[in-house]
Structure 1
Amino acid sequence: MKFPSLKSLAEGAAHTIKCYPFEVLFALAGTIAATAEVELRHLNREHESWCIRIIMIANLGLLLSLSATLYTQSRNIAMGKRRLIKYVAAIFAASLIFIIDPSAREADYIRFFLMSLAFHLLVAFAAFTGKGQLQGFWQFNKALFSRILTAVLYGLVLFLGLAAAIGATNFLFNFNFEWDTYAILWVWIVGMFTTIFFLAGVPVETHLLDEDQSYPKGLKIFTQYVLIPLSTVYVIILLAYEVKILVEWNLPKGLVSNLVLGYAVFGILSLLLVYPIREHDENKWLKTYARSFYFLLIPLLGLLFVAVGTRVFKYGITEWRYFLIVLACWLLFISIYFLLFKKQNIKLIPVSLCVLTILAIYGPQSAFSVSMYSQRRIIVQFFKNNNAFKNGKLIPVDSTKISNKVGSHAVANLEYFISHYDLAPLQPYFKKDLAAVADSLGKLKSKGDYGLVGRYELRNEKLEWAKNYLGLHKFKSYYFAGMDTVDNHPEYQINTQGITRDVKGYDLIFNTGYQADTVNDKFNDLTIQHVTLANKVCRLTINNETLKFNTQDLAKKLIVDTKQLEKYRQHADEDEYQRIYSVPVDLISVTQETPNYKVRFIVDNMHFRLFKNDKPEVTSLTFMYLIKQK
């Protein structure tokens, strides 16, 4: 590969800055903001969200400005109107900084990703908004993709070379360039060098690309021998799984969504890559492949709808389920279009996907509004089902009439809602002014330092306030089967005080390791085997002499005298359901003998649950054997 000279790079950079001034300005702003972000972290100063916001806006502004440039160039718009469109695009992109604030709303990270995706798609077809030009559209995007790969390669080589030079000066001249120097170097290479290099290779006379019939042979090989076989493997697996579901009549697993989307991505990408040569005589089979691909995609989309639908009906709509549903609908639309229409416009793929992406960002139809309404409905329905909904408002529930399972699920839903959407959207169902509540909680002192509560602490404070206000204070957001007992017995965690490693009175320690099911070992003339049987019964065999230690009996012995056990409880005021105890060795050990051996079984750590019949079920266990040969 021939690398450009410094002169050509300088001339190309100057020409690019002249042709793409707004794009370069946005790139420069993002690079400076990224540099400031690196320095702020290095100086251990408080994280400035403005740096992240400027980086985001720089990305969006560059893409939107480039789209405006490509559109105005392709339409031969007069210079005055061309400048006006570019100014409007740049101002609109810059104004987004007052809307996007991920430090206040984590959902804005997803919104930024969606905007960036939409603007990338806009760049793909901005110069081809008229009819036809399908060959030019394909050649243009091929050129962009090739230029991106080249820019990344050049940028990586430049970074590695300069980083090696900096490292050499550190070694030879005892300089002290630290990690932030390399980080800033990478920021400027990615932010400015690769951006300008990429922009310099963007095709300008897009109308001439329609006459370009060239096609890389390597691309055909890659598509024919990599992408198409991959999509074929996906469809075989998925069709076999669909048959399995029909035979067993079971609901599909959640992972099937990823497999269907993987098949769709590989298939559509492969068809797009071979689009210019689909009519060639030697490639007639591609039309057959295309029709079979879309035909087979339809039943798989049905599988996807069922997989997502079962979770939506059970847990409601979340942002990710919304995206899956929208993608499934879009893939169904694309499949029907390419099956029914002979004149196939591949521009429809990025255009329709761009429109759907934009619609998913803001508005009542957006992913965030739809999922918020769905999760709020689930919360309200819980209170209605438990007679805690009066005059359109939520009132405290009677927690004594609610099982731990139901209460824990309600708290989990409430926690998810507050972490994603805050308390404010619940205002229509509260008599209290939630804005005033949030202000009051925001003035609390942080538990970690002397300042006010941070964002995550404030979120937890809001959750605790809501739980107390709604009568859910006794429930946690997690649930396990042992919590549904008559006396609300928790999960027990037993740790052993001062567990001995002293073998005084014994010949050796036999430690099985962490939860080992079967362990075999030899010590001199002793052949030892440990096996963990059902219900965590430990069987030890020494030279064909066998002992059994029932850990459930040990657990039951502990809880017989509750008052005695409570003496050893740790952090008694912190957790209602998971109780931690540190007990003496004698309470959690047992000794047995055979004709030739004496063995002491000592538990190091044990977790167990207590069910309605007061029968403990040991779920986790670590232990050791002390062995004495008589």
Structure 2
Amino acid sequence: MKFPSIKNLVQSTVNTVKRFPIETLFALTGTIAATVKIELDRLDLTAENWCMRIIMIANLGFLLSLSTTLFAQGKNRSAGKKAGLKIAAAVVAICLIFILDPPSRQADYVRFFLLSLAFHLMVSFAAFTGKGQIQGFWQFNKTLFLRILASLLYGTVLFAGLAAAIGATNFLFNFRFESDTYFILWVWITGMFTTIFFLAGVPADIQALDEDKSYPKGLKIFTQYVLIPLSTVYVIILLAYEIKILVEWKLPKGLVSNLILGYAVFGILSLLLVYPIREQNENKWLKTYSRSFYFLLIPLQALLFVAVGTRVSSYGVTEFRYFLIVLAVWLLGISLYFLLFKKQNIKVIPISLALLTLLSIYGPQSAFTVSMYSQRRIVVNFFKKHNAFKDGKLMAVDSNKISMEEGSKAASRLSYFIDHYDLVALQPYFKKNLTPVVDSLSKQKNEYDHLPINREELRGLKYLWAKQQLGLNRFSEFSYYGKGSEMIEQINYVFARDQNIMVIKGYDIILSNYQPVDTVVNNYNGLKILQTKINDINVLRLNSEVLQFDPFEVVKKITADTVAMGKYFVKEDKYSPLRYELPGNLMQLTRETPKYTVTYQFDEIYFDLPKRDKPVLRGFRGQYLIKIK
């Protein structure tokens, strides 16, 4: 076996860069940006955000430029036209940096993923947009698929070897390569080595691929003995579940959507992999399997539509459910196409999926617009139901006339809407101009370090502002469902101190009870003090005398009259349970012995409050105040 020389490797790399200059430049830009982001971790948030955006644009620019190169190559465009198309694609990709801003809009992470998916699909068919060329299309994508696997294998082995070498130098020569060195190494291997290695394997003669009738034997074995059996197991399970649903006549579980999509992916992938050999005499059964696959997919798609429709009717459209609906419609169209048309073109699979992906990113038909209108309608309908919608505007509801369960659901829906679509998306239903409100909230300082608030904190303030304006202040999104779908509130009671001051006049010792260990022993002037906890009950031993402090005594006392506790309610944090600040005398227990008087002063008690059950303690903390008689 003849190994390639260093000269040949360098020459091959130079040829690849010359063939794909813009793609290589995008890969290098993304790699450098990723390196800078690693070095700036937690040092400069603004610079980190820009690095993330550059990484995303580099990925999209690479894919879009590669698609354009392949399109020009497939159409035999002149060198000048090729250069013009590639420059235009690069400009389009670079302009996306002014559109995508994930740190400000969480939805842009999904938009980036969708754009990347669409551009990946474009790479698969860009060189084969003309009629026919199906054999060439299959051979091209088979080559890319195998090249990607080889790139990942080589890159992983190279990283493992170099990482081991770095670790050895650390051990043998006392070098100090930090953990970020390994991250940077991985970035450069995946960003540059595997990228150039992959590009070097992209077929140069597109037209010749249509005459290539070769087929890897290993691929046939993998498809026939792994993918097809797996998809068969899937369909048997899913059809049995569908029969079970029909017999019991109940709605399907939400997870069934993922299983059906998994079956569809396995099945379509296996059929694509064996497409060139389906006409061979020994493989005639593949045509029968293909028709049966799409035929059996029809009833499963009906189950998929029912599963998605059930969730949409109850909770409205979200981005995830939108994609499920689009995939369900796409699968139905693909199934009918391969069942009804004799002349079948497998290029329709990536082309149609790419078009649907692009349509779901921006515009009135996009996932984000459709889901925003759906979720906004749910919020508005709640206020209409409770007569708090007048002249097209939202009004504050009377919270005393709304159950805790319904109010908590409304608060949760409002929180979801503001987190995903922002407060200004509710502008059509507010008389007040929300832009100055948002500007005012954004200028607030963090109450702990007095620094400007971050984007996450700003979203929380927007939610709390809207909640108060709409009369939902006494409800919390911080709740969940227990057994029997019962709404459970999570509540936090704290001791309201004036500037963190606690008066301990009349006591000799203050003893912290914050230690996480089960048993703590202290000594004070010959007094042996032992702290422990048994079944959520604090036990304090002072020499031979034992005192017990049961937090449930306080919990029962402060939950006995929820109306009276209402005056202690404070504006809760966006991501915390309902919060009440009580005076110290309501959050303490006192015990007497012949030699000591001990008060346990709770700093905080937090617990769950089911609607029809006793409170469930989640934790508490405080300190002992000890008086020696």
- TM-score range, shorter-chain basis? 0.7 to 0.9
> Helix, strand or coil for the counterpart of 1:242?
helix
Aligned positions of 1:159-558 closer than 5 A: 159-479=159-479
Which stretch shows the higher mean deviation, 135-144 or 75-84? 75-84
Aligned positions of 1:25-40 closer than 5 A: 25-40=25-40
C-alpha spacing 1:585/1:314, structure 2 compared with 1 (3 Å)? farther
> Match for 1:61: what amino acid?
G
Return the alpha-carbon distance in structure 1 between the equivalents of residues 261 and 21 of structure 2: 39
Write out per-residue CA displacement over residues 23-67 of structure 1, whole angstroms, 9 at most, x where no aligned residue. Answer: 011111101111110111175766521100100000000100011
Match among 559, 567, 571 for residue 556 of structure 2:
559
Give yes or no for contact 1:135–1:210 (8 Å, CA) kept in 2.
Answer: yes
Return the alpha-carbon distance in structure 2 between the equivalents of residues 92 and 86 of structure 1: 10
- Does 2:21 align with 1:24? no
> Match for 1:409: what amino acid?
K
Aligned-pair distance for 1:479? 4.0
> Match for 2:61: what amino acid?
G
C-alpha spacing 1:77/1:561, structure 2 compared with 1 (3 Å)? closer
Return the alpha-carbon distance in structure 1 between the equivalents of residues 208 and 287 of structure 2: 27
TM value normalised by structure 1? 0.81
CA RMSD between the two structures = 3.6
Give yes or no for contact 1:498–1:585 (8 Å, CA) kept in 2.
Answer: no
- Does 2:149 align with 1:149? yes
> Match for 2:304: what amino acid?
L
Give yes or no for contact 2:554–2:589 (8 Å, CA) kept in 1.
Answer: no
Return the alpha-carbon distance in structure 1 between the equivalents of residues 441 and 121 of structure 2: 43
Identity across the alignment (%): 63
Give yes or no for contact 1:447–1:453 (8 Å, CA) kept in 2.
Answer: no
C-alpha spacing 1:19/1:481, structure 2 compared with 1 (3 Å)? closer
> Match for 2:449: what amino acid?
D
Give yes or no for contact 1:119–1:354 (8 Å, CA) kept in 2.
Answer: yes
Q: Which runs of 5+ in 2 are unaligned?
A: 483-487, 495-511, 522-531, 538-549, 593-604, 620-629
C-alpha spacing 1:89/1:608, structure 2 compared with 1 (3 Å)? closer
> Helix, strand or coil for the counterpart of 1:387?
coil
Write out per-residue CA displacement over residues 274-309 of structure 1, whole angstroms, 9 at most, x where no aligned residue. Answer: 001101111111111111110110110111111110
Return the alpha-carbon distance in structure 1 between the equivalents of residues 429 and 216 of structure 2: 62
Return the alpha-carbon distance in structure 2 between the equivalents of residues 468 and 296 of structure 1: 52
Between Structure 1 and Structure 2, how many residues are aligned?
Answer: 556
> Match for 2:453: what amino acid?
V
Aligned-pair distance for 1:449? 2.3
Counterpart residue number, 1:521: none
Return the alpha-carbon distance in structure 1 between the equivalents of residues 565 and 416 of structure 2: 35
Counterpart residue number, 1:617: 614
Counterpart residue number, 2:78: 78
Return the alpha-carbon distance in structure 2 between the equivalents of residues 90 and 74 of structure 1: 19
Return the alpha-carbon distance in structure 2 between the equivalents of residues 237 and 95 of structure 1: 47
Return the alpha-carbon distance in structure 1 between the equivalents of residues 445 and 303 of structure 2: 51
Counterpart residue number, 2:601: none
Aligned-pair distance for 1:330? 0.2
Counterpart residue number, 1:89: 89
Aligned positions of 1:110-125 closer than 5 A: 110-125=110-125
Give yes or no for contact 2:554–2:588 (8 Å, CA) kept in 1.
Answer: no
Give yes or no for contact 2:322–2:371 (8 Å, CA) kept in 1.
Answer: yes
C-alpha spacing 1:220/1:490, structure 2 compared with 1 (3 Å)? closer
> Helix, strand or coil for the counterpart of 1:259?
helix
Return the alpha-carbon distance in structure 2 between the equivalents of residues 43 and 278 of structure 1: 58
Q: Which runs of 5+ in 1 are unaligned?
A: 483-487, 504-508, 515-552, 588-604, 623-630
Return the alpha-carbon distance in structure 1 between the equivalents of residues 82 and 559 of structure 2: 81
Return the alpha-carbon distance in structure 1 between the equivalents of residues 73 and 122 of structure 2: 15
> Match for 1:322: what amino acid?
Y
Return the alpha-carbon distance in structure 1 between the equivalents of residues 590 and 298 of structure 2: 63
Write out per-residue CA displacement over residues 522-579 of structure 1, whole angstroms, 9 at most, x where no aligned residue. Answer: xxxxxxxxxxxxxxxxxxxxxxxxxxxxxxx99699737878999999x974768577
Return the alpha-carbon distance in structure 2 between the equivalents of residues 560 and 90 of structure 1: 68
Counterpart residue number, 1:101: 101
Aligned-pair distance for 1:455? 0.4
C-alpha spacing 1:558/1:217, structure 2 compared with 1 (3 Å)? closer
> Match for 2:77: what amino acid?
I
C-alpha spacing 1:427/1:502, structure 2 compared with 1 (3 Å)? closer
Give yes or no for contact 1:41–1:47 (8 Å, CA) kept in 2.
Answer: no
Which stretch shows the higher mean deviation, 368-377 or 397-406? 397-406
Return the alpha-carbon distance in structure 2 between the equivalents of residues 557 and 49 of structure 1: 47
> Match for 1:380: what amino acid?
V
C-alpha spacing 1:405/1:177, structure 2 compared with 1 (3 Å)? same
Write out per-residue CA displacement over residues 209-267 of structure 1, whole angstroms, 9 at most, x where no aligned residue. Answer: 11111111111111111111111111111111111111111000000001100100000
Write out per-residue CA displacement over residues 385-408 of structure 1, whole angstroms, 9 at most, x where no aligned residue. Answer: 111111111111111211111111
C-alpha spacing 1:217/1:498, structure 2 compared with 1 (3 Å)? same
Aligned-pair distance for 1:78? 1.8
Give yes or no for contact 1:74–1:127 (8 Å, CA) kept in 2.
Answer: yes
C-alpha spacing 1:88/1:554, structure 2 compared with 1 (3 Å)? closer
Which stretch shows the higher mean deviation, 159-168 or 337-346? 159-168
C-alpha spacing 1:398/1:285, structure 2 compared with 1 (3 Å)? same
C-alpha spacing 1:510/1:441, structure 2 compared with 1 (3 Å)? closer
Write out per-residue CA displacement over residues 585-626 of structure 1, whole angstroms, 9 at most, x where no aligned residue. Answer: 989xxxxxxxxxxxxxxxxx99564657xxx4365699xxxx
Aligned-pair distance for 1:478? 3.6
C-alpha spacing 1:300/1:620, structure 2 compared with 1 (3 Å)? farther
C-alpha spacing 1:64/1:317, structure 2 compared with 1 (3 Å)? same
Counterpart residue number, 1:138: 138
Return the alpha-carbon distance in structure 2 between the equivalents of residues 104 and 214 of structure 1: 50
Return the alpha-carbon distance in structure 1 between the equivalents of residues 453 and 42 of structure 2: 24
Give yes or no for contact 2:388–2:397 (8 Å, CA) kept in 1.
Answer: yes
Return the alpha-carbon distance in structure 2 between the equivalents of residues 303 and 585 of structure 1: 62
Return the alpha-carbon distance in structure 2 between the equivalents of residues 132 and 563 of structure 1: 78
> Helix, strand or coil for the counterpart of 2:282?
helix
> Match for 2:321: what amino acid?
R
Return the alpha-carbon distance in structure 1 between the equivalents of residues 468 and 562 of structure 2: 30
Return the alpha-carbon distance in structure 1 between the equivalents of residues 473 and 47 of structure 2: 34
Counterpart residue number, 1:63: 63
C-alpha spacing 1:170/1:382, structure 2 compared with 1 (3 Å)? same
Give yes or no for contact 1:498–1:584 (8 Å, CA) kept in 2.
Answer: no
> Match for 1:234: what amino acid?
Y
Aligned-pair distance for 1:512? 8.5
> Helix, strand or coil for the counterpart of 1:213?
coil
> Match for 2:112: what amino acid?
F
Return the alpha-carbon distance in structure 2 between the equivalents of residues 556 and 13 of structure 1: 75
> Helix, strand or coil for the counterpart of 2:240?
helix
Return the alpha-carbon distance in structure 1 between the equivalents of residues 114 and 386 of structure 2: 39
C-alpha spacing 1:47/1:80, structure 2 compared with 1 (3 Å)? closer
C-alpha spacing 1:74/1:470, structure 2 compared with 1 (3 Å)? same
Which stretch shows the higher mean deviation, 572-581 or 16-25? 572-581
Return the alpha-carbon distance in structure 2 between the equivalents of residues 104 and 490 of structure 1: 30
> Match for 2:307: what amino acid?
A
C-alpha spacing 1:86/1:562, structure 2 compared with 1 (3 Å)? closer
C-alpha spacing 1:95/1:608, structure 2 compared with 1 (3 Å)? closer
Return the alpha-carbon distance in structure 2 between the equivalents of residues 182 and 237 of structure 1: 44
Aligned-pair distance for 1:156? 1.8
Which stretch shows the higher mean deviation, 401-410 or 90-99? 401-410
Return the alpha-carbon distance in structure 1 between the equivalents of residues 479 and 292 of structure 2: 46
Give yes or no for contact 2:569–2:579 (8 Å, CA) kept in 1.
Answer: no
Return the alpha-carbon distance in structure 2 between the equivalents of residues 344 and 279 of structure 1: 13
